[in-house]
Amino acid sequence: MRRKNWRVAVVGIVLIVIAPVFFVGMLSVAPRSNDPGALMQTVGQVAGAVGCLGLVMLIAGLIGKTA
């Protein structure tokens, strides 16, 4: 029987929510940047990595570990 690790799953959900919020929040900063395209490319990569990490943590938490 596997036990779900709810702490890891909840942190994964939080990271999945934070990633697009960070991306959208940085859209307001980009026009004031010297190179908005490069800034948004970097922000997109970071947001994507955080979102994927959150997804992996959510799946791992829901799969759980053996008791």
Q: 13-36: per-residue pLDDT in tens?
A: 999 999 999 999 999 999 999 999
The answer on pLDDT for 1 being more than 90 is no
More confident residue, 67 or 39: 39
**Under 8 Å CB-to-CB from 31, ≥6 apart: which residues?**
none
What is the pLDDT, as a whole number, of residue 25?
96
If DSSP codes are grouped into helix, strand and coil, which group holds residue 65? Answer: strand
Distance (Å, whole) CA 35 – CA 42? 11
User: Structure pTM?
Assistant: 0.88
| Mean per-residue pLDDT of the chain | 95
Q: What share of the chain is helix, strand, coil (3-state, %, to 5)?
A: 80, 5, 15
What is the pLDDT, as a whole number, of residue 65?
87
Give which of 62, 60, 48 is closest to 15, Cα–Cα.
48
